Amino acid sequence: MLLVNTIRENFEQVLEGLQKRNFPHAEAALHQVLELDKKRKETQTERDNLQAESNSIAKEIGMLMKSGKKEEAEKIKSRTSEIKSQVKLLEDAYNNIEEDLKQILYTLPNVPHYSVPKGKSADDNEIVLEHGSIPELHADKLPHWELIKKYDIIDFDLGVKIAGAGFPVYKGRGARLQRALINFFLDEAMKAGYIEVQPPILVNEDSGYGTGQLPDKEGQMYEATADKLYLIPTAEVPITNMYRDVILNEAEFPIKNVGYTPCFRREAGSWGAHVRGLNRLHQFDKVEIVQIVHPDRSYDALEDMSSYVQGLLQKLELPYRVLRLCGGDMGFTSALTYDMEVYSAAQERWLEVSSVSNFETYQANRLKLRFKGEDKKTQLAHTLNGSALALPRIVASILENNQTEDGIKMPKVLVPYLGFDMI
């Protein structure tokens, strides 16, 4: 959530950032924020003045009573009652204004970092680098949705029977490949200094608001309506919310957590090959890395996280590229996002497998996630997260890029986890 002080002190910069995102009616919304903040302050001042008057009268009544001037004391008591009524009305008005202000701030996305390119869609994203060679496959190459049938390792029809479209059943070596990837990703993260956590996969409303999934994405999440709980779209939500309403010490930075969870998303999709098979699912597995850092070091942390995810892709021997997302393609809460895409040789296109983002203070402001520095002053921390990695498209790329006429070769780094080198 944007800070009102930031909007007031850097109005043109914030406006330019929201326009870079193609956010509609940005200027009107920002002016509305400042107007509500002004009304809030005026209401608070009026309330405080009345409260001060009430306190002064209370002292005067006490002195009159001590002096035996009971009648004079009774005369001014009526003013105290009037003030109490006025204060109550002002408190209600203040709370209403504050709620209106909060609801408008919830609708405003984060301001992009200066390096974010302008653009309206994924076509305008900036390619930062490419790594690896595109594999040359044999003439009878198959997309992964055909390979999984041929080798009987993932069953979509069985998933439809049990739950519905977008809920595959992993079988035999397909299930072992899932488990191997999860364990490999967790082990690598711990080697890089991340602390493993196993969070709940259901979260409450406060958690959804804390990381920005609510109120922006409630239509994309599965909701357990009887209990007002949501199935998580990513482990970012519960892991980051571990630090909601917490004041940290600067010496604790950087805080680095990693967690594996299943993830659930309702918006799985349109029709066509681009969402076929494992390309887009309602339920999928993902390992997530989360960092909480000092504001001065968050962009160094972002580059480190990007390099770390690239290292995983290199170890899996997958060709990939890194994109800097444009203003129109960024997530609502992000200030800067890198997407990592792997090349799928059978589909002959790039598949997104990871996003690594810096949220600056946007989530921390919602979470009231603060820290104390050496000067003992309290300020907001910066939060970051990244997929390290999401499994479905990684599995799709491994299957497609490594297919031979004799079977599918497994990346060498996974063989100790799998117990086999070929499907």
What is the domain class of 4-107 according to CATH? mainly alpha
One of 3.40.50.360, 3.40.50.300, 3.30.930.10, 3.10.310.40 is the CATH number of 122-418, namely 3.30.930.10
List the Cα angle 243/245/251 in 5-degree steps: 55
Q: What is the pLDDT of residue 273?
A: 54
Q: What is the pLDDT of residue 78?
A: 75
Q: What is the pLDDT of residue 355?
A: 98
Tell me where in the chain the CATH 3.30.930.10 domain(s) lie. Answer: 122-418
Q: What is the pLDDT of residue 272?
A: 54
- pLDDT tens by residue, the chain, 423 residues: 999 999 999 999 999 999 999 999 999 999 999 999 999 999 999 999 998 988 888 888 888 778 888 777 777 777 788 898 999 999 999 999 999 999 999 999 999 999 999 999 999 999 999 999 999 998 899 999 999 999 999 999 999 999 999 999 999 999 999 999 999 999 999 999 999 999 999 999 999 999 999 997 778 899 999 999 999 999 999 999 999 999 999 999 999 999 999 999 997 554 455 678 999 999 999 999 999 999 999 999 999 999 999 999 999 999 999 999 999 999 999 999 999 999 999 999 999 999 999 999 999 999 999 999 888 899 999 999 999 999 999 999 999 999 999 999 999 999 999 999 999
DSSP 114: T
Q: What is the pLDDT of residue 367?
A: 98
Q: Give the rounded distance of the alpha carbon of 231 from its chain centre.
A: 14
Using DSSP's 3-state secondary structure scheme, residue 100 falls into: helix
Cis peptide before 199 (omega within 30 of 0): no
Q: What is the pLDDT of residue 269?
A: 52
Question: Rounded to an integer, what distance in angstroms lies between the CA atom of residue 42 and that of residue 44?
Answer: 5
Q: What is the pLDDT of residue 211?
A: 97
Token couple for 268 = 């799985």
Q: How is 169-223 classified by DSSP, letter by letter?
A: EE-HHHHHHHHHHHHHHHHHHHHTTPEE----SEEEHHHHHHHT-TTTSGGGS-E
344 forms beta bridges with 349
Q: Smallest Cα–Cα separation from 187: which of 325, 284, 312, 78? A: 312
Owner of token pair 């680095």: 256
- C-beta of residue 180 within 8 angstroms of C-beta of residue 414: yes
Q: Smallest Cα–Cα separation from 134: which of 277, 283, 344, 311? A: 344
Question: Rounded to an integer, what distance in angstroms lies between the CA atom of residue 216 and that of residue 22?
Answer: 16
- C-beta of residue 97 within 8 angstroms of C-beta of residue 4: no
Lateral strand order in the sheet of 223-224: 202-204, 229-231, 223-224
**What pTM did the predictor assign?**
0.92
Q: What is the pLDDT of residue 73?
A: 73
Annotated binding site: 234, 265-267, 288, 352-355, 385
Single-letter residue type at 355:
S
Segment holding 20, helix H or strand E: helix 11-20
Annotated binding site for L-serine: 234, 265, 288, 385
Annotated binding site for ATP: 265-267, 352-355
Tell me where in the chain the CATH 1.10.287.40 domain(s) lie. Answer: 4-107
